[in-house]
Each structure stands twice: as structure tokens, then as C-alpha cells.
Amino acid sequence: MTAATLVSWKIRPGDVVSRGQVVAEVETDKGVIDVECFNEGTVERLMSEPGQKLPVGALMAVIRGSVDDEPSMSAAPRPNVAANTISEPSATTSGARLKITPAARKRAGELGIALEQLHGSESDGVIGLTDVEGAAAAATTSTSPLRSEDGCDRMRRAIAAAMSKSKREVPHYYLATKIDMSRALAWLESENLNRPLADRILPAVLTLKAVALSLHDIPELNGFWIDSKFRSGDGVHVGLAVAMKGGGLVAPAIHDADHKSLDEIMSLFHDLIPRARSGRLRSSELTDATATLTNLGDLGVETVFGVIYPPQVALIGLGKITQQPWVADDNICARPVLTATLSADHRATDGRRGGQFLDALNRRLQTPEKL
């Protein structure tokens, strides 16, 4: 993601905002996203207009910090003014700002005029309404440059960019192991027996929790490779790869999955998966994941070796659970078997540590009652 178009503001100057509050909607390659606020305070001013395309890191609004510690009101602007920007880990600030009046910007959006094409006719170089109308008249025969492209194509391009970067820069190593799922599935079956349909837990929830706990066990796989060094995640936020009906995928984060109960994770599935498929995710859900989990078993795939989503350092792949011959206590029997794989960044970890992760995952799934 390199840019986003502001769709609407959810706040106005003077509003008091809190951390995590949804302050704006932006349209990106990954659909419409709710932008959350990083700070607490009072909205001083909004720096962008609906329809405006903003590069990642662009200043969106100025939020004045809390003044609780100040007994008297000061007329001078306080120094602790924080800026809310389009979020992405490697944020940069925008270049020179376009000088345009809000009304002109709004009109340009309505008419589908790209702001870069506009020039101010006033002496101060500020683009006014008349400049927009003029440009519109001159360009009546050309197609609308602001009209959004086909969402599918954009998602395809975003995936292409991320995956090319990964295969260009990330030295992957791959490990796989087979896990006997009989205990986990038997436990889940008895757990689901007395639950109404809507409260039943899917095997995918059980395995996600086991993956989260295993990432907690092996923290070197949970985080990012940035500026030639590993930075561990601020929690275990598992990105769950969700396939889109028309092709493409998104991987919204299940925050602190290692601390959530199976019921909480199941409720998050009911919340996240429909929103992911309809393109209604929040900014923190799209940017916070510390590792990704892909579940390709549903459509019959037995083993998946995934491509890491940079700057993450690990991708866990789970295949279809199938009945397979299994040796237990010197006897051959049929067991439900899951093939779990790990694709990991060799800059951050070595195969031995990766192997310990898959071992931890196996052990976790042998004691499902503790998940």
C-alpha cells in the first residue's frame, strides 16, 4: 500500500478523540478501511478533504494533546500537538502540500479532476474553484482520472508488489511436519456437542489459537525484519489469510490471539471474515499482524508452503486434515493428520528455531483442553 483516497471524516475540529477511535474512512487497494486515531486529544484541524489521494505517511489531521496537567488555559498553541497520519510501519512525511481551497478540492473530486493537473491562477498560486471549473471544461472529452479502478485489479497489483518484494528480498526457508489431530478433533467434537450451531467452534479456531501460543513460545518468529534487524511484535497478532470470492486475499489481524479464548476467536471470525470479504476492515487490522496464518485445507490442499508477507518473518501454512496411516505404539492405525508448514525469514531465524516452533505447535495440539 502506497496511497489511499480519503472517503470521509468521522470527526470535526473541536471533537475530543480517544486512542483507537475511528476518525476517517479511506479507500485503498484492500478496500475501504476505517482509520483509527493513535492519540488522545482535541481535533485542532483536518488537513485533507474527502476525495483527496494521500501518500502513506501524509498528514491527515492535527490533534492537540490533553491539557489536564495545565491548570490555566493558555492562549498560545501548546507544543504537544500530535499528528494523525495514514499508517504504515515505514511512514514518511509528504512533500510540498498542494495549495488549494477546500471548495475547489471538493469540486475537483466531484468532477473527477486529478489535483496534480490543476494550477492556481491567483497571484498566491492557490488553486480556487474557478481553476477547477476551467480545467474541467478543458478536459471534458478525456476520461475521469479520479474514477477508481476495478478493485480486483488493484488488489492483484498490491499482492503482486508485496509477493515480488518478498521473493526478491526475503531468504525463505521451509519446514513441514505432520500432526496427529485425533485428540484435538475428539475434544472439539465433545465441546461442540452441546452447543447450538451459532456457538460451535471450528477446527480452524483451535489451530489458530495453537499457532498463536506457539508464536508466543518462539518469539523470534513473531515480528518484523526492518532496517537489517529483527523487531519483535508488541503482542501476538495473527494475520488470518482470508480468500476473497472474486480472487485475491486479505489477512486481517486477530490481536493478542494468544490471550484470547476459543470463543473470543470464534466471535472474531464471525466479525472479521464477512468484513474482510466485503472490504470493510479497520486500519489496525490491516497493518498490525505480526505473523500470517494461511489455511488452505478447506478446498483440499494437503500442504502449503507460503510466501512471507514482508516485513513479517514467518508464515504458517495449514493443509487439509485427512485420514492417514499413522504409527502409534508400534501399531499402524488410521488417524486424522494435519500437515503444518513454516516459511520463515532466514535473516531472522535458523531452521533449528523454526523446527522448535512446529514442535511447539504439535505439542499444543496434543493438549486441546489447554487451548
Where on the chain is the footprint of another protein (CB under 8 A)? Answer: 189, 192-193, 196-198, 200, 202-204, 243, 245, 269, 273, 298-300
When the beta carbons of 160 and 186 are compared against another protein, the nearer one is 186
- Closer to another protein by Cβ: residue 22 or 273: 273
Residue 317: burial class (beta carbons within 10 Å; 0-12, 13-18, 19+):
buried
CB-count exposure of residue 24 (10 Å: 0-12, 13-18, 19+): buried
Structural contact between residues 54 and 5, judged by C-beta atoms closer than 8 angstroms: yes
CB of 139 to another protein, least distance (A): 37
**Minimum Å distance from CB 323 to another protein?**
12
CA 177 to chain centre: 28
Residue 29 Cβ vs another protein, minimum distance, rounded to whole Å? 22
Nearest to another protein of 96, 197 (CB atom)? 197
Nearer to another protein, 175 or 243 (CB): 243
Question: CA 43 to CA 65: how far, in whole Å?
Answer: 9
Nearest distance from C-beta of residue 292 to another protein, angstroms: 17
Tell me the closest approach of the beta carbon of residue 79 to another protein, in angstroms. 49
The DSSP code for 129 is H
Q: Residue 139: which residues within 8 A CB-CB, separation 6 or more?
A: 113, 117
> CB under 8 Å to 48, separation ≥6 — which residues?
6, 54, 58, 59, 60, 61
Residues 98 and 117: beta-carbon distance below 8 Å:
no
Question: Which lies closer to another protein via its Cβ, residue 122 or residue 271?
Answer: 271
